Amino acid sequence: MKEKFKIVIFTDLDGSLLHRDTFKFDTIKNYISGLVDLGIIIIPNSSKTEKEIEKFNEELGVKLPYISENGSSIQGLNLINVNFPNKIILSREKEELLKIFINRVPEQLRDKCVQISKINKKDQEKIFGQKDDNLKNALNRKYTLPFLFRGDKNEKNKLLKILNSSSLTLQEGGRVFNLCDNINKVKSMNRVIKILKKTEDKIKSIAVGDNYNDLDMLKNCDIPCLVFNDKFKLDQINIDNLIFSNKPSPEGWADVIKKALVKLGYND
């Protein structure tokens, strides 16, 4: 079937494309490269840092544009079109966010937030599942502050209310909470789509995720895809036309993408 539109895949990495524990994706590496060869645009949209996604690109052997730190930074759009920007920053730096956090959040609530950067290395390794240079890359953040929250549900809701009133957000990932600017994955995704529409008349967006901080991205794309995560029950997720895989990542990623492409008129 002749392509009548440009397909763009926005994908989370950990637990969606990468194996949840080993972070490997060898079994689908050739499949991903094949999609790129077909002219399909793949854009990692992750809480991971620039260094982590750059390493993913190296392992893939393909330079993909990407969105890092929960929507904070968009990079490499010039790989799609030389007239597109190489880098777009949508967030204030983490030091400025921390100042606001300290000034606005009462000490009692701040004490419930344990910054990952301030705990011992052994615990950091356990939390991120990474060691050595991989751990260093995971901690090398410019725009977000990962932390553990030791409070209850009511305290969490109080914290969210304070942060929202201060133009900050709290993104809940699979391993940690992230203090972020007033930005998220869906805002950065929409920014990219707006830029792509300068040269593409028709775009079909596929979004792939596996966790709570991916749901808004899935709700705002053309074809939402959810990779298996035992935290979720499908009857609790209200997303129209959701494609779901019973396989975990990375095979689950390939599974949902194949289903999405068939839905768009592509066949193997």
Same-domain pairing of 15 and 84: yes
Whether residue 65 lies inside any domain: the answer is: yes
Cβ neighbors of 30 (< 8 A, separation 6 or more) are none
Q: How many Å apart are CA 96 and CA 99, to the nearest integer?
A: 5
pLDDT of the residue at 174: 65
Secondary structure (DSSP) of 161-219: HHHHHTTEEEEE-SS-EEEEES--HHHHHHHHHHHHTTT-S-EEEEEEE-SGGGHHHHH
Whether residue 225 lies inside any domain: the answer is: yes
Whether residue 109 lies inside any domain: the answer is: yes
CATH number, domain with residue 231: 3.40.50.1000
Q: Each residue of 173-226: pLDDT tens digit?
A: 767 899 999 999 999 999 999 999 999 989 999 999 998 889 999 999 999 999
Domain that holds residue 108: 94-181
Domain boundary (147, 163, 181) is at 181
227 conformational bin, left if phi > 0, alpha if psi -120 to 50, beta if neither: beta
Whether residue 78 lies inside any domain: the answer is: yes
Same-domain pairing of 81 and 202: yes
Number of domains in the chain: 2
Same-domain pairing of 137 and 211: no
Domain boundary (181, 205, 228) is at 181
Query: Could you say which DSSP state residue 73 is in?
Result: E
Same-domain pairing of 198 and 132: no
Regions of the chain short of the pLDDT cut 70: 1-3, 174, 267-268
Q: How many Å apart are CA 174 and CA 197, to the nearest integer?
A: 32
CATH number, domain with residue 166: 3.30.980.20
Same-domain pairing of 52 and 114: no
Structure tokens belonging to residue 50: 């620039």
CB 40 within 8 A of CB 28: no
Domain boundary (150, 181, 212) is at 181
